[in-house]
Amino acid sequence: MNAAKLRDKMDDLLNPIVVKELRQVVRSRVIMAALILFLIVQLAILLFNLSVDERRGVDYTSLHAGRHIFTVFQGILLGTCMLLVPTYAGIRLSSEHSETNVDLLFISTLRPLHIIAGKMQASVVLMLLIFSACAPFMTFTYLMRGIDIPSIVLILALDFLVVLFGTQAAIFLGSIPANLGLRLFLGVSGLVALFFVFLGAMASSIGVLELGLGSRMDTSEFWLAVGGVAIVLVASIGQFFTWSVSIVSSPSANRAFPSRLYFLGFWLVTGVVAFVLTDRIHEIGLFLSWTFLVTLMLCLQVVVSINERQQWGMRVLRMVPRNRVLRPVAFLFYSGSAGGILFATGMIALTFALTYLALNGNEFSSLSISPYRLDMYRREIAAFGLIALYTLVYCLMAVWVRNVLFPKLVKTSHTWVVSLLLFGIGFSLPLMLVFMFQNEDWRMGQVDPWWYISNPVWTIYEITERGGSNADDFRVGSLVFLSAMTFLLLMANMPWIVRQVRRFRPPLTPLAETP
Amino acid sequence: MQITIDHLIKNYGRTRAVDDVSFSFSSGEIVGFVGPNGAGKSTTMRIIATLDEPTEGDVFLDNVSVVQEPEKAHRLIGYVPDALPAHRDISVHEYLDFFARAYGIAASARKKVVESIEEFTNLMGIREKHVNALSKGMKNRVSVARALVHDPAVLIMDEPAAGLDPRARIELRELLKVLSGQGKAILISSHILTELAEICTSAVIIERGRVLRSGNLSNILSADAPQRAVRIRTLDEVEPLYKHLLTLPNVEAVKLVDRGVQVEIMGGEEACWELLAHLVRNGQRVVEFHPLRVGLEEVFMNVTRGEVQ
């Protein structure tokens, strides 16, 4: 094979999206300006720190100087990457895949998987460019003492994963077809979320550097924790990836199937990781973090599912199993509103059942949790449970309102708006009622918490912050009440669910006849 | 290739945008897709191009269903939207190269394919210009070039002539004729009916999501003429002929034109023949008897009501 043929072969292997995106990146004035500014800021901060510290009389023979400057650089690197890469990737995809303008690349022979993978790969190249521009400055801190090379490499690797996570999340938001208003809302929400991820990553790395990273690297617990964090991050990236692929897939495709299947795998793998880490590191908070993470993801699935299709085209129906045992399983995993809600509800129930068993059973008996911490954990689990139950209640109520009260007015794809309106009413109505009818108690701060039961924020605050036996009663009572509400709303929506179950059957003839 | 639009229905909530649309066309045909704004033309075209999913019905490209096998259909369809989607920081050549890659054209052939398309669509001179910096006419050419890059058998063109200057419109018309000659099946929507009538072999008239007329253009034009105009010239005096024609039962109106008369008669070709036979029997020395063709615009105005959904 000669050089030209080899080059052609390599060229064919490249994802077209990567080639296009990188061509655009190198021509983009915004990116180039940001990169140059990034280098200038790094240099300026390094010089500024050195000069100010010198005037302050900081001793550079101390063991902290390198660590201090490294943290500053890490802040700049992470801040730049979190702001630039996800925003750039998200905005680009959003402009290509809006409600009014579906880019023609979505009707090329490129598969949705390749489109999202290409966007991600192009972002990785951009990230590598920024990381490599920062690397000389960060390595320089090693010479200033206070930090070792393995710590630098490890923190950079975790930062890389964090930015990758942020980028994939931004690509997910950008892939949602929306009008300008919704795109702006999603963009601002995404930026706020990225800011908190940035803060979290910075706080964690500063914390572990303060504790001394290098000295802990030879313990198995340390690597278990690092491995656990990495697995959860990679699995989360994968989840956002499959969601993005589902969104950009053809509307007639069975879009939910890969993402729900992946979620099941995600739930199992991260659950096992959380269990093992909790058992080895003796910190049950890790298991509760898993509960919190999957609860949030399942809540998102509920919100998405209420907007999904209620009937299927031939493309999906011909894949419905003819086997009557497999069909109900397929109903939960295939695209479809009722199936999605039932899948998420079932997974939420399973997650909390496992968490309850883990906390109250013998699984973590060796952890010897103090009664105080046990109570704190119970409150946290109750708070997670309330988040899930409120999501289910408001979403199921929205489905009922759409189907029964406004069947002609509300489009299926806009059911989330109804749930948001109901949430708004549930949030504000108790405040007004209490102000009008319980004014005296309100001023004294002695309002019965049941007045606020439709307000998720107030209820969660009550059960996490207030103590005493009354608070315990309210915690159990609110969980029972909301569970009952969820059950009642499921029953109220049962005719709608049953209609979809009945429609979910393979066609009588295997394939539509071609004329 | 036979393209069959089979009982297509598309609902947006309670609004039926496309209502049981069926028609077909084949390779080498240019089909004009005509209708008022909001008639359902773009929705139908987007469904054919796999950008939308029908509520009911299907589109078949020979035996490939665009609903069930959109991935296969993508290879067969070239779609030209009314406006080229925005692409920042990319040149015309890079844009076409990207789509050639996206359609899986191997590197060994890609350069040649892209260059031949650029030459065919007359883009060679502007291939290094940024797509966003181009005029509407140039962008339109890029859009056509992009749709042709994978050599599709079917071209779906949604208002490609909108906003083009006269020169660009003429160039587009010539391009379509060449493409049709190459055996491509072309479905084109436009509001410039006179131009459509010049290049189309068939037409589909749609309003409120329903097909009002479809088929061969000359059939549509003749079928939808309740009265037709005929230009007559004889070697005799015009005035007596004019007066005589006004006495005939099928004649609606007569006017003097040039060195003859223009008669509007009720009925189809039979009525024309009867009139000619009558004149000859009466001893008129007829040297010209020329039925005037009814335009697509007249047919369109006759069959549509200008209603939108």
Torsions phi, psi for B33 (to 5 deg)? -110, 105
| Spatial separation of the C-alpha atoms in residues A424 and A269, rounded to whole Å | 36
Confirm whether B302 is domain-assigned.
no
B159 and B278 assigned to the same domain: no
Using DSSP's 3-state secondary structure scheme, residue A179 falls into coil
Predicted local confidence at residue A98, as pLDDT: 63
Predicted local confidence at residue A513, as pLDDT: 45
| Residue ending a domain, choose from B179, B201, B222 | B222
* Residue B121 near residue B141 (C-beta atoms within 8 A): yes
User: Where are chain A's structural domains?
Assistant: 14-217, 282-505
Give first-to-last CA distance, chain B, whole Å: 33
B201 and B240 assigned to the same domain: no
| CB-CB neighbors (< 8 A) of A8 in chain B | 106-108
Query: Of A9, A18, A20, A126, which to mutate for an interface test with B (greatest number of B Cβ within 10 Å)?
Result: A20
**Which residues pair with residue B3 across a beta bridge?**
B25, B61
* Eight-class DSSP state of A57: T
Predicted local confidence at residue A514, as pLDDT: 42
- Calculate the alpha carbon distances from B302 to B218, B224, B292, B305 in Å: 16, 8, 17, 8
Which residue in B6, B13, B49 is closest to A411 by CB distance? Answer: B13
The beta-carbon contacts of A352-361 under 8 Å, at least 24 apart in sequence, are A352/A291, A352/A381, A352/A384, A352/A385, A352/A388, A354/A271, A355/A287, A355/A288, A355/A291, A355/A381, A356/A381, A358/A275, A358/A278, A358/A284, A358/A287, A359/A284
User: What's the token pair of residue B253?
Assistant: 């109106």
Name the residue among B302, B126, B305, B119 with its Cα closest to residue B228.
Answer: B302
Q: Min CA distance, A258 vs chain B (Å)? A: 18
Interface residues of chain B, partner chain A, Cβ below 8 Å: 4, 6, 12-14, 49-53, 58, 60, 63, 65, 67-68, 70-71, 74-75, 77, 79, 81, 85-86, 88-90, 94, 98-99, 101-104, 106-108, 146, 150
Query: Quick one: how far is CA A231 from the chain centroid?
Result: 14
| Residue of chain B nearest A18, judged by CA positions | B98
Global ipTM: 0.71
| CB-CB neighbors (< 8 A) of B60 in chain A | 514-515
B256 and B276 assigned to the same domain: yes
| Spatial separation of the C-alpha atoms in residues A377 and A54, rounded to whole Å | 47
| Residue ending a domain, choose from B222, B246, B269 | B222
Decide: residue B103, CB within 10 A, 0-12 exposed, 13-18 middle, 19+ buried.
Answer: buried
B108 and B234 assigned to the same domain: no
| Spatial separation of the C-alpha atoms in residues B93 and B146, rounded to whole Å | 10
- Calculate the alpha carbon distances from B55 to A311, A478, B7, B67, B168 in Å: 10, 43, 10, 10, 37
Could you tell me if A250 lies within 8 Å of chain B, comparing CB atoms?
yes
Confirm whether B46 is domain-assigned.
yes
Q: Min CA distance, B6 vs chain A (Å)? A: 8
Residue-wise burial string across A227-250, b where 16 or more C-beta atoms lie within 10 A, e elsewhere = ebbebbbebbbbbbbbbbbbbbbb
Q: Please answer yes or no on whether A102 and B51 come within 8 Å at the CB atom.
A: yes
B172 and B239 assigned to the same domain: no
Q: Please answer yes or no on whether A104 and B68 come within 8 Å at the CB atom.
A: no
Query: Quick one: how far is CA A500 from the chain centroid?
Result: 29
User: What's the token pair of residue B184?
Assistant: 């491509």
Name the residue among A381, A383, A379, A394 with its Cα closest to residue A486.
Answer: A394
B90 and B174 assigned to the same domain: yes
Which residue in B6, B50, B65 is closest to A250 by CB distance? Answer: B50
B69 and B203 assigned to the same domain: yes
For the four alpha carbons of A51, A55, A58 and A64, in that order, the dihedral sign comes to negative
**Which residues pair with residue B31 across a beta bridge?**
B187, B202
Which residue in A11, A408, A512 is closest to B68 by CB distance? Answer: A512
Residue-wise burial string across B51-69, b where 16 or more C-beta atoms lie within 10 A, e elsewhere = bbbbbebbbbbeebbbbbe
| Spatial separation of the C-alpha atoms in residues A77 and B59, rounded to whole Å | 52
Q: Min CA distance, B107 vs chain A (Å)? A: 5
Residues in chain A: 515
What DSSP letter does each residue of A360-405 carry, written as one string? HSSTTGGG---HHHHHHHHHHHHHHHHHHHHHHHHHHHHHHIIIII
| CB-CB neighbors (< 8 A) of B71 in chain A | 109, 111
Query: Of A107, A320, A513, which to mutate for an interface test with B (greatest number of B Cβ within 10 Å)?
Result: A107
- Calculate the alpha carbon distances from A126 to A13, A41, A118, A344, B34 in Å: 20, 18, 12, 36, 47
Q: Min CA distance, A86 vs chain B (Å)? A: 18
Could you tell me if A513 lies within 8 Å of chain B, comparing CB atoms?
no
* Structural domain boundaries enclosing B58: 2-222
Q: Please answer yes or no on whether B88 and A28 come within 8 Å at the CB atom.
A: yes
| Spatial separation of the C-alpha atoms in residues A49 and A72, rounded to whole Å | 9
B152 and B266 assigned to the same domain: no
- Angle, in degrees to the nearest 10, between helices A65-96 and A112-143: 160
| CB-CB neighbors (< 8 A) of A118 in chain B | none
Query: Quick one: how far is CA B80 from the chain centroid?
Result: 14
Give the count of domains, chain B.
Answer: 2
| Spatial separation of the C-alpha atoms in residues A452 and A446, rounded to whole Å | 12
Q: What is the CA radius of gyration of chain A?
A: 26
| Spatial separation of the C-alpha atoms in residues A159 and A309, rounded to whole Å | 38
Name the residue among B18, B146, B128, B176 with its Cα closest to residue B78.
Answer: B146
Taking each continuous run of H as one helix and of E as one strand, the counts in chain A are 19, 0
B188 and B40 assigned to the same domain: yes
Name the residue among B280, B207, B240 with its Cα closest to residue B18.
Answer: B207
Q: Please answer yes or no on whether B98 and A16 come within 8 Å at the CB atom.
A: yes
Confirm whether B299 is domain-assigned.
no
What CATH number is associated with residue B95?
3.40.50.300
A259: left (phi over 0), alpha (psi -120 to 50) or beta: alpha
CB pairs under 8 A between A and B: 98
B175 and B39 assigned to the same domain: yes
Using DSSP's 3-state secondary structure scheme, residue A162 falls into helix
Bridging pattern class, strands B202-207 and B30-34: parallel
CB atoms within 10 A of CB B305: 10
* Residue B291 near residue B227 (C-beta atoms within 8 A): no
| Residue of chain A nearest B63, judged by CA positions | A514
Predicted local confidence at residue A163, as pLDDT: 93
B51 and B173 assigned to the same domain: yes
Query: Of B64, B67, B96, which to mutate for an interface test with A (greatest number of A Cβ within 10 Å)?
Result: B67
B213 and B239 assigned to the same domain: no
Name the residue among A112, A508, A319, A339 with its Cα closest to residue B50.
Answer: A112
Which residue in A101, A108, A512 is closest to B85 by CB distance? Answer: A101
CB atoms within 10 A of CB A181: 8
Query: Of B42, B87, B157, which to mutate for an interface test with A (greatest number of A Cβ within 10 Å)?
Result: B87
For the four alpha carbons of A386, A388, A389 and A394, in that order, the dihedral sign comes to positive
The order of strands in the sheet holding B154-158 is B77-80, B154-158, B185-189, B30-34, B202-207, B210-216
* Residue A291 near residue A384 (C-beta atoms within 8 A): yes
What CATH number is associated with residue B286?
3.30.70.920
* Residue A151 near residue A201 (C-beta atoms within 8 A): no
- Angle, in degrees to the nearest 10, between helices A220-248 and A149-175: 20
CB atoms within 10 A of CB A409: 12
Which residues neighbour A102 within 8 Å (Cβ) at sequence distance 6 or greater? A96, A177, B51, B85
pLDDT digits (tens, 9 = 90+) for B239-262: 888 888 888 888 888 888 878 898
What DSSP letter does each residue of chain B carry, written as one string? -EEEEEEEEEEETTEEEEEEEEEEEETT-EEEEE--TTSSHHHHHHHHTTSS--SEEEEEETTEETTT-HHHHHHHEEEE-SSPPP--S-BHHHHHHHHHHHTT--HHHHHHHHHHHHHHTT-GGGTTSBGGGS-HHHHHHHHHHHHHTT--SEEEEESTTTT--HHHHHHHHHHHHHHHHTT-EEEEE-S-HHHHHHH-SEEEEEETTEEEEEEEHHHHHHHT-SEEEEEEEESS-HHHHHHHHHTSTTEEEEEEETTEEEEEEESSHHHHHHHHHHHHHTT--EEEEEEEPPPHHHHHHHH------
**Tokens 């020395």, located at residue:** B285
Predicted local confidence at residue A309, as pLDDT: 86
Query: Quick one: how far is CA A222 from the chain centroid?
Result: 25
Which residues in chain B show pLDDT less than 50?
none
Angle at B125 between CA B119 and CA B126, to 5 degrees: 105
Confirm whether B309 is domain-assigned.
no
pLDDT tens, per residue, chain A with 515 residues: 678 788 888 888 888 888 888 888 888 888 888 888 888 888 887 787 777 766 666 555 556 677 778 888 888 888 888 888 898 888 888 877 765 556 666 677 888 898 899 999 999 998 998 888 888 888 877 777 777 788 888 888 889 999 999 999 999 998 887 778 888 888 899 999 999 989 988 888 888 777 777 677 777 777 877 888 888 889 889 989 999 998 888 777 888 999 999 999 999 999 998 888 888 877 788 888 889 989 999 999 999 999 888 888 777 888 899 888 899 999 999 999 999 999 999 999 999 999 888 877 666 656 666 777 777 888 888 999 999 999 999 999 999 999 998 887 888 888 989 999 999 999 999 888 888 888 787 787 778 888 888 999 989 888 887 766 677 788 889 999 999 999 999 999 999 999 999 989 887 765 444 44
